[in-house]
Amino acid sequence: MIARTKPTNGPRILVTGAAGFIGSHTTDQLLGLGCRVMGVDDLSTGHLMNLRSATANSNFRFVRADITGPNVIEELCAGFRPDAIVHLAGLVSVVRAQEEPNLNYRLNLHATHLVAEAARLHGVRRAVFASSAAIYGDHPDLPLTESALPQPISLYGMAKRASEEVLMGYGASFGLETVCLRYFNVYGPRQDPKSPYSGVISIFAERFAAGNPVTIFGDGSQTRDFVAVEDIARANALAATRPGLSPMVCNVCTGRPRRLLTVLDVFRSLHPDAPAPQFAPARPGEIQHSLGNPERAADRLGFVANTELESGLRAFAQSLGTANSPQALATA
Ligand code: UD2
């Protein structure tokens, strides 16, 4: 039997998308800090399994609901009276957002407006929002700083950008403490590897674990700013609980460019018997390099992404249960 934790008097945080990849890790972090958390999720892409440890905590409550439904978010705010809302629910597939613009609008923009308006009506002090490096588009000036002019090249990026504006508008008009976090390439346990457009690390992790070959699009020299989900969750928790934050947008990144071939090498060292990778032409329209500047997050949020890619990948692979021992990596 799992021991239940004692109720706390910590801040009350409403997490939308709590059963998802980032939402469930964020919920775990907030509970670890002694917050009282209400998680809401319609379970369309999230899984209750992700909240297994949270549901054993007496400071956690879960509501299954679509936050874009009539009065849903308002009623949750009226009942729970959160100090902050961490708004992570959304349509995460960039490709699906492109194929279903109305769905993208409803889940990635209209939902943000509903969150902001519910916060205003019910005196919620702060809103933390899951924005994305996608708002920068294919910006040439790397590393990307928050002052770069956003140039989204997808409907997903457009909706994230517009959501930031909605929340900043509520900040300027009604004093909502808005923190928009622009996540770079997030990876880690519980990320969905099922679609070809899932994050590359989740695809690699699953294929290596199953003993299947991975495909590298291009020559593998492309670089990304890969951030472990535990770091993302910590940034979310800081953004929700740190006193005295003024409205801001902020990158959540490492500031360290890592090549796809490096990711491949780490997985191969963990799975020495895996089949050789296959190479295929680069995907059309993809960017070669993406890199964020982490200074504002350090200065204003007190956040530094401190998970090294190698140890993050190792922990991820081991969470799937099939990777070799840590020594394999040490000798790689
Ligand atoms: C994702 C998003 C993008 C933006 C960005 C945030 C998609 C389609 N794109 O793009 O909109 O949010 O993250 O920084 O969601 N790759 C392989 N083999 C595979 C899968 C991917 O070689 O099996 C390559 C892929 O061609 C790319 C790199 O790995 O060069 C990273 O791919 P990704 O889809 O994980 O992320 P990214 O940054 O291209």
Domain of 263: which CATH number? Answer: 3.90.25.10
Q: What is the distance in A from the centroid of ligand 1 to the CA of 199?
A: 6
Say if 203 falls within a structural domain: yes
pLDDT band at 285 (very low <50, low <70, confident <90, very high): confident
- Does the C-beta of 216 come closer than 6 Å to ligand 1? yes
CA atoms in the 13 A half-sphere facing the CB of 39? 31
pLDDT above 50 for 1 = no
**For residue 91, what pLDDT band results from cuts at 50, 70 and 90?**
very high
71 and 162 together in one domain = yes
Q: Has residue 64 been placed in a domain? A: yes
Ligand 1 centre and the CA of 197: distance in Å? 7
Average pLDDT over residues 87-109: 96
Q: How many CA atoms lie within 13 A of 232 on its CB side?
A: 30
Q: Are residues 230 and 280 in the same domain?
A: no
Alpha carbon of 241 to ligand 1 centroid (Å): 31
Q: How many CB atoms lie within 10 A of CB 10?
A: 16
Distance CA 18, CA 23 (A): 4
Q: What Å distances lie between residue 217 and 203, 212, 263, 278, 280, CA to CA? A: 13, 16, 13, 9, 5
> According to the model, what pLDDT value does residue 5 have?
75
Spatial CA neighbour of 84 closest among 33, 125, 30, 137: 125
DSSP code at position 267: H
Tracing tokens 């040439």 back to the chain, one arrives at 140
- Assess if residue 7 is contained within a domain: no
Per-residue confidence (pLDDT) for residue 246, from 0 to 100 = 87
Does 191 score more than 60 pLDDT? yes
Q: Are residues 164 and 36 in the same domain?
A: yes
Residues 95 and 211 in one domain: no
The domain that holds 27 is classified in CATH as: 3.40.50.720
Query: Could you list the active site residues?
Result: 156
Same domain, 143 and 234: yes
Separation of CA 224 and ligand 1 centre (Å): 9
Confirm whether 232 is domain-assigned: yes
Same domain, 128 and 194: no
Is residue 1 situated within a structural domain?
Answer: no
**205 in a structural domain:** yes
111 shares a domain with 22: yes
What local confidence, expressed as pLDDT, does residue 328 receive?
Answer: 38
CB 37 within 8 A of CB 27: yes
Within 10 Å of residue 267's Cβ, how many Cβ atoms? 24
Cβ atoms of residues 72 and 65 within 8 Å? yes
Q: Is 290 in the pocket of ligand 1 (CB under 6 A)?
A: yes
pLDDT band at 275 (very low <50, low <70, confident <90, very high): very high
Per-residue CA distances from 220 to 22, 118, 175, 203 (Å) = 26, 45, 46, 15
- The values of phi and psi at residue 10, to 5°, are -65, 170
User: Whole-prediction pTM value?
Assistant: 0.94
Task: Specify whether 69 is located in the same domain as 160.
Answer: yes
Tokens of 138: 């294919």
Q: Which domain holds residue 211?
A: 190-224+256-290+307-331
- Same domain? 102 vs 204: no
The atom number, within ligand 1, closest to the CA of 185 reads 14
pLDDT in tens, 222-259: 999 999 999 999 999 999 999 999 899 999 999 999 99
224 ligand 1 Cβ < 6 A:
yes
Instruction: Give the count of domains, the chain.
Output: 2
Residues 66, 103 share a domain: yes
User: Which position has the higher pLDDT, 4 or 330?
Assistant: 4
CB 270 within 8 A of CB 317: yes
Collapsing DSSP states into helix, strand and coil, what is residue 244?
A: coil
For the ranges 55-59, 105-109, 285-289, the lowest mean pLDDT is seen at 285-289
Q: Which atom belonging to ligand 1 lies closest to the Cα atom of 225?
A: 14
Residue 3 lies inside a defined structural domain of this protein: no
Which residue blocks in the chain are alpha helix, DSSP H? 21-32, 52-55, 72-80, 94-99, 101-105, 111-121, 155-174, 200-210, 229-241, 260-270, 295-296, 309-319, 326-330
Per-residue pLDDT band at 323 (split at 50, 70, 90):
low
* Shared-domain flag, residues 198 and 136: no
Contact 13, 86 (CB under 8 A): yes
155 within domain boundaries: yes
Q: Which of 4-8, 20-24, 42-46 has the lowest mean pLDDT?
A: 4-8
Half-sphere exposure of 51 (CA within 13 A, CB side): 27
Kind of pairing between the strands at 223-224 and 258-259: antiparallel
Considering the domain architecture, whether residues 38 and 26 belong to the same structural domain is answered as yes
- Ligand 1: atom nearest CA of 280 is 22
